Amino acid sequence: MKIVSACLMGCECRYDQKDNKVGEIEQFVKDGKAIPVCPEQLGGLPTPRNPAEIVGGDGFDVLDGTARVIDNQGNDVTEQFLQGARQALRMAQAAGAEEAILKERSPSCGSALVYDGTFSKTKRKGTGVTAALLLRHGISVRSEESLD
């Protein structure tokens, strides 16, 4: 069993209320091989919502309390991102998921790249908050881009 970013299976749950549908991931869900999750919604954030980026590090740093997640209006949404990550982990563990396929560059789901916190579309190496928490609990994480 896998968990997947809900936006990748066609849910319009991105910050801008759009999706990032990938046919192969949608099929995993249809076949009962994957459970879709949106950590940001699970953490209580609305859709649509202001875009957010990690400031001062990556998802591991957020988990350790040394970085924050801030939206483009300056609001600190770190607690919602942490809560969403914990809920996604709970769902993954309950389903016996050993793998997650998550949306690259997301402050929740990025597995190798995230935006740098300046809202300038600049990417840097790092993981999102949910990806980091899943990795810390032994669940492998990869991006949808690895399916190509």
**Residue pLDDT, tens place only, 135-147:** 999 999 999 888 8
Residue 148, in any domain of the structure: no
Residue 101, in any domain of the structure: yes
Mean of pLDDT over the chain: 97
Does this model's pTM top 0.85? My answer is: yes
- DSSP annotation of 105 reads B
Q: Looking at the 3D structure of the chain, how many domains does it have?
A: 1
Rounded to whole angstroms, what are the CA distances from 47 to 34, 44, 89, 92, 113? 22, 10, 21, 22, 23
Q: Nearest Cα to 126, choosing from 38, 59, 53, 65?
A: 59
The pLDDT of residue 146 is 85
Q: Residue 13 — very low, low, confident or very high, per pLDDT cuts 50/70/90?
A: very high
Measured distance CA(142)–CA(99) in Å, rounded: 8
Residue 41, in any domain of the structure: yes
Show the domain range for 75: 2-143
**Residue pLDDT, tens place only, 42-85:** 999 999 999 999 999 999 999 999 999 999 999 999 999 999 99
The pLDDT of residue 148 is 65
